[in-house]
Structure 1
Amino acid sequence: MLDTTGSTISDFVAKAKCLEATSFCMIFDLRSRSLQKKTDAAAMEYDVRKAEVAPMCTSYEPNPHERFAAHRLFQAPDFDYKREIYKDYTAPIFRRGEGGWCTNPATFGMVPRKRIPAGVRPYDTMNARAETIGERRSFSSAWTRLQLCLIPCRAFFEPNYESGKPVRWRINLASEQPTAIAGLWRAWEEPDGKASLSFTMLTVNADTHPLMRRFHKPGDEKRSVVVIRPEDYEDWLSCRSMDEARSFLQLYRAEEMHAEAFPLPPRAPRAKPAGDDQPTLLD
């Protein structure tokens, strides 16, 4: 409420105008923040529409601790991680830092589920299409900044439909040596002020690849992750331009790869409550 005690009419008018201007700025600021949130949400919705109908690689086996001698450039991770990595799981990545090569924990999927705003339909960012990487908000910033990484990997999994139903297959190098997949990383600020990392795998068209064209649903575009050869690790992480980085986004030679059916083990039946011998519709 405006205090007019001891004020002249001109003072009163001046205070009223000041209050009006302050109120306008507060309303404008609130509307601007609301508009920014809507803009961010709209951009994410655009990413949802542009996302692949069927993501390429959604799970893989990271390189185990005992086999990191194959990646001599990089330190072995000093943190634990699962034997198989799925969306939002933490796994090691290699990247170039200010002090040299880094081995960091990062979560699989460029935009972790907890970072998707309320009201935006959840979507997957485990894979980034090389052809549209500069168009999608989820990846374009990391791509233009050349935030390149390597994902140490022993094998990855894809569905094969040649039997008429999806069967999980395991794909690795014929030499059985650990390898690394090309990816992008980004940083997130946590509530405590510390930074966390996330990553995505880069994919390319594989319609003509003798091996990778055998995976995913009939009629769907065939895709493949990009496997980087050990002799190219330094050059990939040291790219100085997007054109240079694109030169690495090639299919791996099929004769140097191996694939076999690798179904998940059947799920163990759920335990019944003690004393409940009556079968249910879910048993």
Structure 2
Amino acid sequence: MCSHYEGVSDPKRLAEHFGVILPAGVKFDVWPAYESIFIRRPKEWGSGDDAVPPREAQAGAFGLVPHWTRAVDVKTALVAARRTYNARPETARDKPSFRDSWRRAHHCVIPAEAIYEPDWRSGKAVPTRIGRADGGPMGIAGLWTGWNSPDGTVLRSFTMLTVNADDHALMSNYHRPDDEKRMVVILHEHQFDTWLDASAERSMEFMQQFPADLLVAAAAPRPTRPRGA
């Protein structure tokens, strides 16, 4: 599972690897309920308008806030995001928090330089930074949605999809010894567009482990975990 990641903060790097423009005002040291970015197809995509880009970066909260959430304002609604930052594809199609996004194929790609996981092999949680071995940014498969506040504000939000990693050569080393090992679904670059266009029926085809030899892990300074994150 991933509750902390490093977003892509360099506009040139984001444009080069993902073909999108960096929105203003987002965070790059990202924890649940923080606003960062996700990449989706524009609503006008496929309309025949050549001016519509194939991808767009949207600001949104890390942690899915379902459209049916009952809350008086955005701040209250974000409480839900602290529990919905990761989704299991095994249950997403039926779990109330995720099922509408799954069934509507609200697919997105979440750009990240690295994710952080605890290494418990020493008996203590050692914060570990995990990134791509080639130095490139990750494109993590996710789901997105929108929530309408009573005051008319639209809150967009997203979640990362995860798969079992009990047998993964690298990711099986993380989290508590007795916990199931999970890892985020990292897409290859050639999969970005096919994932964004995939129907709900095809979603499971993308739920695969990323090869261990294409990742690198190193102990990192202990992160400052914000209160409530």
Partner residue of 2:63 out of 109, 126, 130 = 109
Give the corresponding residue for 2:70. Answer: none
Partner residue of 1:256 out of 211, 214, 218 = 214
Pairwise CA distance, 1:72: 4.4
8 Å Cα contact 1:171/1:258 also seen in 2: yes
1:227 aligns with 2:186: yes
Give the corresponding residue for 1:182. Answer: 141
Which ranges in structure 1 are unaligned for 5 or more consecutive residues? 1-55, 268-283
Q: Aligned-residue CA RMSD in angstroms? A: 2.1
Counterpart of 1:248 in structure 2: which amino acid? Answer: F
Alpha-carbon spacing, 1:219–1:72, altered in 2? closer, same or farther (3 Å): closer
Whole-angstrom distance in 2 between the partners of 1:180 and 1:72? 8
Alpha-carbon spacing, 1:236–1:217, altered in 2? closer, same or farther (3 Å): same
- What does the per-residue CA deviation read over 1:79-134, in whole Å, with 9 as the maximum and x for residues that have no partner? 122231001110011011222322100000113872279xxx99611100111111
Give the corresponding residue for 1:196. Answer: 155
Between the two proteins, the alignment pairs up a number of residues equal to: 207
1:85 aligns with 2:44: no
Alpha-carbon spacing, 1:173–1:206, altered in 2? closer, same or farther (3 Å): same
Whole-angstrom distance in 1 between the partners of 2:155 and 2:167? 38
- What does the per-residue CA deviation read over 1:210-264, in whole Å, with 9 as the maximum and x for residues that have no partner? 0000000011100000001111111000012x23111011000000000011132
- TM-score, normalised on structure 2? 0.84
Whole-angstrom distance in 1 between the partners of 2:25 and 2:10? 9
- TM-score, normalised on structure 1? 0.69
- Of Structure 1 and Structure 2, the greater helix share is in 1
8 Å Cα contact 2:195/2:203 also seen in 1: yes
Pairwise CA distance, 1:194: 3.4
Pairwise CA distance, 1:60: 0.2
- What does the per-residue CA deviation read over 1:115-172, in whole Å, with 9 as the maximum and x for residues that have no partner? 279xxx9961110011111121000011000011110110000000011100110000
Give the corresponding residue for 2:51. Answer: none
Alpha-carbon spacing, 1:155–1:184, altered in 2? closer, same or farther (3 Å): same
Q: Rg larger in 1 or in 2?
A: 1
Between the aligned residues of both structures, percent identity stands at 38
Which ranges in structure 2 are unaligned for 5 or more consecutive residues? 46-54, 66-73
Whole-angstrom distance in 1 between the partners of 2:38 and 2:88? 19
Whole-angstrom distance in 2 between the partners of 1:139 and 1:146? 11
8 Å Cα contact 1:127/1:203 also seen in 2: yes
Whole-angstrom distance in 1 between the partners of 2:223 and 2:156? 31
SS in structure 2 at match of 1:138: coil
Alpha-carbon spacing, 1:174–1:165, altered in 2? closer, same or farther (3 Å): same
8 Å Cα contact 1:106/1:196 also seen in 2: yes
- Of Structure 1 and Structure 2, the greater strand share is in 2
Counterpart of 1:184 in structure 2: which amino acid? Answer: L
Alpha-carbon spacing, 1:106–1:266, altered in 2? closer, same or farther (3 Å): closer
8 Å Cα contact 1:70/1:178 also seen in 2: no
1:68 aligns with 2:30: no
Whole-angstrom distance in 2 between the partners of 1:170 and 1:217? 16
Runs ≥4 in structure 1, deviation > 4 angstroms?
none
Whole-angstrom distance in 2 between the partners of 1:245 and 1:230? 17
